[in-house]
Amino acid sequence: MHFDLESHDSYASADDDEDRMVPNPAKTKAYQKVVAARNAHADAAAIADINLMALKTPEEGARELSLTITNDMHNQAMAPFWEAETALTTAEKDHKKIPAKVRLGDLNPGQQVLDTETKMIHTGIRMAAYNTAMTIAREIRTNTGYARANQEAHALMRQAFNQGGDIDTTVPGHLTITLDPLPTQAKKQAIAKLCEHLTATQTRYPGTELILRYKIKNSA
């Protein structure tokens, strides 16, 4: 929510690769017909079983030995099943003939694709910022002693990020970040503890030999 990871960053577009192979929608439609044919086949099999059972069951009062089932009666009882079986076989053969993927230019010639480079760069920055924020919030909960850290760690982290401050490179080998104090003593002390903990990690500023140090103004 705070890092807008799903944002749309650029409306620039270019021609898509027309030789790229993409899923064939006709394959999906054909498979749907196969599924429908399988369901119809199962229903027809159940009906055929009922029909055959009815043929083999003598009418009430009739003698079982006198029961006769002719070929025509049997064929009539099985006709819906055979019809459904033929339809299923045809649907499966049609589905098998259709290629799973087709050339994009054949399916949708002239398709445009949005620029991805800008989105990837922005997403990389946002993900780095998100990971940093989650780490800082965790450090607030575990290393500052702030009483409401479980409820307010993220809010306190965002408030600290929005504070003004100074950058000092006058001390050899160090880059010192000095933040303006927060409005309440409890929050000020919590961020001061956080600064002590981050400084103790002896993190080197990327691309330099400078060690990062963090402080709060007017705090020890």
* Predicted local confidence at residue 12, as pLDDT: 79
* Predicted local confidence at residue 98, as pLDDT: 95
Picking from 142, 147, 178, the residue whose alpha carbon sits closest to that of residue 160 is 178
| DSSP per-residue string spanning 127-166 | HHHHHHHHHHHHHHHHHS--TTHHHHHHHHHHHHHTS-EE
* Predicted local confidence at residue 126, as pLDDT: 87
CB 27 within 8 A of CB 100: yes
* Predicted local confidence at residue 111, as pLDDT: 87
Picking from 94, 90, 123, the residue whose alpha carbon sits closest to that of residue 26 is 94
For the chain, 220 residues long, give each residue's pLDDT as a single digit of tens.
Answer: 666 767 777 777 888 889 999 999 999 999 999 999 999 999 999 999 988 888 877 666 555 555 677 888 888 888 989 999 999 999 999 999 999 999 999 988 988 887 778 888 888 888 888 898 899 999 999 988 888 899 999 999 989 888 899 999 999 999 999 999 888 899 999 999 999 999 999 999 999 999 999 999 874 4
CB 84 within 8 A of CB 37: yes
